[in-house]
A and B are shown apart, each in its own frame.
Chain A
Amino acid sequence: MTEPALARTKGAEQFGSSSAAASGQSGDRILETRSISKHFDATQALQDISFSLYPGEVHALLGENGAGKSTLIKIITGVLQPDGGEILLAGTPVVIRSAAEAQRLGIAAIYQEPLLFPDLSVAENIFVSHQGRGQVVGWRQMSQDAEAILAQLGVAIDVRSPARGLTLAAQQSVEIAKAISLNVRVLIMDEPTASLSAHEVAQLFGLVRDLRGQGVSILFVSHRIEEVFEIADKVTVFRDGRLISTRLRSETSPQRSISDMVGREMGLLKPRPRAAIGELLLSVRGLGRESVFEEVTFDLHRGEVLGFGGLIGAGRTDIGLALFGIEPATSGTIALDGKEITVRSPREGMDLGIAYVSEDRRQLGLSLPMSITANITLPMLHKYLDRFGLIRRGLETETAEAYRKRLSIRTSSVDLAVAKLSGGNQQKVMLSKWLNTKPSVLILDEPTRGIDVGAKAEVHAIIAELAATGIGIILISSDLPEVLAMSDRVLVMREGRQMAIFSREEATQERVMTAAMGQVSAPIGEVAA
């Protein structure tokens, strides 16, 4: 079993320690995609992607959530099949049908959360995907091989201990060792640093540089732009499923990359007409939840739309969950209409007039087999009982019909199961459900994700109308143009920290994205209005 590890070190010599600068020629590409495209239903996830990876380079992929990086990675690792285009490996066209096949071809991926078997030993984890090596496990041999690989990486882990209990950084090292044992030529690292401490990141980067020195090509995806510019030789930017630019690190800058990332079309989005903003409604000071987010401070007024910008996982949803009482805050204060409040459960949140419309319609939002009517009235069912405690079906239907009209939910009947509606109409049912709780603070989490353009415009019109009735709205969205078009002010989060609050005039795509990716640029808006 020493074979793969040795082969790796021998093979490395062939490539020498070529760096990005030396990889100008077109002949020695290790991986190339030609005009790859992929669509999911109506969304074009990737369009005509031609991309090259050279031996011994660290190539970073940058882009907003949904720009197409993950789809490309999934295609390269065989998880998804492209609709068109081809993949060439060392000049030969290949079809990669599964992740196992990708591994055989020398392509491996490491993710933010390592996928180890917690009850198997480190050595077993390293060699788990080696197949066809006989049925008998040679424990001694395997341990020695594992130790050899880890030593080569300069990592000291007991290979006989179970993977459970290893630090995240150690688990990453095991994943890398696994890739090396597979004689990997292309290593994809998808946000590997997201949960690592600064010290661990430095260690990981040391490993990455070693691998590069051995001729391994590394595709590095990260939302931390300073890390990208520390480790990458080349930077490719994606936007809306298209490859926007590929530049050598020495020829670009963080600012330039961000400009490439955010140059999104506003499309049909029209800015929401400016409406009168009323008195102070919600006042949040120093809000935090241990190791999730901290020191969040903002005000929300009646009739105001406060956008929450930032990347997925920046803690925006967690603030929403805390305000609604699902995962209560552990520090800071919330005041509603000038009175300090504590929200410990969704019931308390609802009673206080706070509503949270979840980002996940199917998982957290709707009871799909139940009717539209039943979904809408469920949170307020106690208001629909007659004096015998029986549900007043007539009143329920009245409510459902009223919302069907108001939000133009398209359905043949309000008795239809929600499962049968389109995404946009499901979203409207969910909005109806929460509007029926008569909230004064409405938290909308990704209200237009996965719905078509027409429905999106309708949801935007609904948001504008709701704000006009004096509801204070917190709009969490990863769709930057949407946040900018709908919001009166934009609060930007990054890794659980509040980076800035921009006024409508200050908020530009570049400013928001720069704050979201950790590059602080002037001017930063005031902390509270």
Chain B
Amino acid sequence: MKWLQRHVRPEQVRELSLLLLIIVAVVFFGSMIDGYYTSRTFNRIVSSVAIITIVAVGQTLVVLTRNIDLSVGSVVGCTAYFVGTLLGRYHDLNPLLAVLTAVALGAALGAINGLLVAWGRIPSIIVTLGTLAIYRGILVDLSGARTVTTDSLPGWLVGLPRLNLMSIGGLDLPALFMLAVAIVLIFHLGTGYLAVGRRFYAIGSNPDAAALIGLPIRRLVFLAFVLSGALAGLAGFVTLARYGNITVESGRGLELAAVAAVVVGGVNIFGGSGTVLGAMLGAIMIGTLEQSLYRLQISEFWRDAILGLLILLAVASDAVILQRLRALWGRADLKIVTEPPAEATVAAGARSP
């Protein structure tokens, strides 16, 4: 316990226990479902996790600043449909350009959210609830309820989900999943080592104090929404590649999965604490649950209900468990602190650092 307290922060305990919970869930479903431990199950889960993860990373940035982005599902739907239509029409479009188009469209939709929240001073939950419906509405109207079909798409895109970068012990790691992992790594390090990441945390943990030191709060909140939109755009592209068939319903409900992943992953819904890595673990948990419940032939409404329950449990346990852990750790710190400090008196004349 002492070793644990010295080397692991309470926030990390949460992430470790989530890892444990994922293993428990896998073992549980393994005993419930015949042929669960196959590469097919693994591939299904992994490609589902990829989409949720990418969206959850963006959501994490927004939630860190004490906001929320509910429009991500609609942004995913819009970009998947738009880029799918584009590729259906221009088969020889450069793949990189197609990805960039998806990201740019997502960023633009995110920018609208950001503008309204940061400068319109409208609470983010209202703004993104509105754009959730508006973006979807525009999609339905522009598409005329037509569907993008797999056979209209260029071959490289259709083959993308089966492209594996590497395989470990017979389990293939598809390129799309590795893309999600790369995104997680980039943003995990970015939030930890870039000034802008530190400032996201600062805004979320104490907006007043952030204003007091002159942080450009509006610009930073705007940036968080643009990044969330851009990542949702990327997720839209992954969705297009994975499913091929894109209806106007595509991406619907993804906001629930993304928020669940973030919250289950230990990001404080009131901002200021949590990590991108935690959000990824949350996404793995959610993806595992979704796919396994699907295999158990539980209706998607029940799956959503279970996600909802998970969000409630995560937030409630966040309040209770983390408090306990912090108290436990706090006592440990106290023991260390009560040892007489080396410089008990003010070091008069000490040089300024």
For B, the interface residue count at a CB cutoff of 8 angstroms equals 38
Within 8 A of A (CB), among B160-193: 192-193
User: Does B35 count as interface, using CB distance less than 8 angstroms?
Assistant: no
Please measure, in the bound complex, the distance between the C-alpha atom of A349 and the C-alpha atom of B211, giving whole angstroms.
Answer: 13
Q: How far is it, in angstroms, between the C-alpha of A399 and the C-alpha of B353 when the chains are bound?
A: 6
Are B341 and A391 interface neighbours, CB within 8 A? no
**Residue contact B348 to A408, C-beta cutoff 8 Å:** no
Q: Which of A364, A370, A405, A408 contacts B202 (CB 8 A)?
A: A370
Say yes or no for A158: interface residue by CB 8 A criterion: no
B194 CB within 8 Å of chain A: yes
A406 and B213 contact, CB distance less than 8 A? no
Is B305 interfacial (CB-CB < 8 Å)? no
Question: In whole Å, how far is B43's beta carbon from the nearest beta carbon of chain A?
Answer: 36
A-B pair count, CB < 8 Å, reads: 114
Residues of B within 8 A of A389 (CB): 194-195
A346-B211, A364-B212, A367-B205 are known contacts. Are A405 and B198 too (CB-CB below 8 A)?
no
Contacts of B193 in A (CB 8 A): 390-391, 393
| Residues of chain B with a CB closer than 8 A to A416's CB | 333
Could you list 19 further interchain pairs (A-B, Cβ under 8 angstroms) beyond the known A365-B209, A465-B346? A326-B211, A363-B208, A363-B209, A366-B206, A366-B209, A367-B201, A367-B202, A379-B214, A381-B198, A389-B195, A390-B194, A403-B353, A407-B346, A408-B346, A412-B336, A412-B337, A417-B326, A420-B329, A438-B352
Q: Is B210 an interface residue (CB 8 A)?
A: yes
User: Does any Cβ of B come within 8 Å of A402's Cβ?
Assistant: yes
Q: How far is the CB of B7 from chain A (nearest CB, A)?
A: 11
Complex CA distance for A367 and B273, rounded to whole angstroms = 10
Is A350 at the interface (CB under 8 A from chain B)? yes
Residue of A nearest to B6 (CB): A412
A374 and B326 contact, Cβ closer than 8 Å, known pairs A462-B346, A469-B352: no
Say if the beta carbon of A276 comes within 8 Å of chain B.
no
Name the A residues within 8 Å of B136 (CB-CB). none
Q: Which A residues are CB-close (under 8 A) to B192?
A: 391
A370–B209 alpha-carbon span in the complex (Å): 12
The residue of chain B having its C-beta at the shortest distance from the C-beta of A386 within the complex is B193
A-B contact pairs, 27 of them (CB 8 A): A345-B214, A346-B211, A356-B212, A364-B208, A365-B212, A366-B206, A366-B209, A367-B201, A367-B206, A367-B210, A367-B272, A370-B272, A378-B198, A381-B199, A389-B194, A389-B195, A391-B193, A406-B352, A408-B344, A408-B345, A408-B346, A410-B341, A412-B336, A420-B330, A435-B352, A461-B345, A461-B346
Residues on A facing B (Cβ under 8 Å): 326, 345-350, 356, 358, 363-370, 374, 378-379, 381-382, 384-385, 389-391, 393, 398-399, 402-403, 405-408, 410-412, 416-417, 419-420, 435-436, 438, 458, 461-462, 465, 469
Asked if B347 is at the interface (CB within 8 A of a chain A CB), the reply is yes
Q: A381-B198, A389-B194 are in contact. Are A406 and B333 (CB under 8 A)?
A: no
A420 touches B333 (CB 8 A): yes
List residues of chain B with CB within 8 A of the CB of A347.
214
B151 within 8 A of A: no
Cβ 8 A contact of A402, one of B199, B205, B346, B353: B353
Distance to closest chain A CB from B144 (angstroms): 46
How far is A439 from B87 in the complex, measured between Cα atoms in Å? Answer: 58
A369: contacting residue among B194, B273, B329, CB under 8 A: B273
B288 at interface, CB cutoff 8 A: no
Closest 10 CB pairs of A and B: A402-B353, A347-B214, A412-B336, A379-B213, A367-B205, A346-B214, A461-B346, A367-B206, A369-B273, A390-B193
Say whether B194 contacts A346, CB under 8 Å: no
Q: Whose C-beta in chain B lies nearest to the C-beta of A407?
A: B346
Whether A382 contacts B209 by the Cβ 8 Å rule is: no
Nearest Cβ on chain A to B224's Cβ, whole angstroms: 17
Task: Annotate B321-353 by CB proximity to A: 1 below 8 A, 0 otherwise.
Answer: 000001001100100110001111111111011
List chain B residues, Cβ under 8 A from A465.
Answer: 346, 348-349
> Measured between C-beta atoms, what is the minimum distance from A430 to chain B in Å?
9
Q: Is B101 an interface residue (CB 8 A)?
A: no
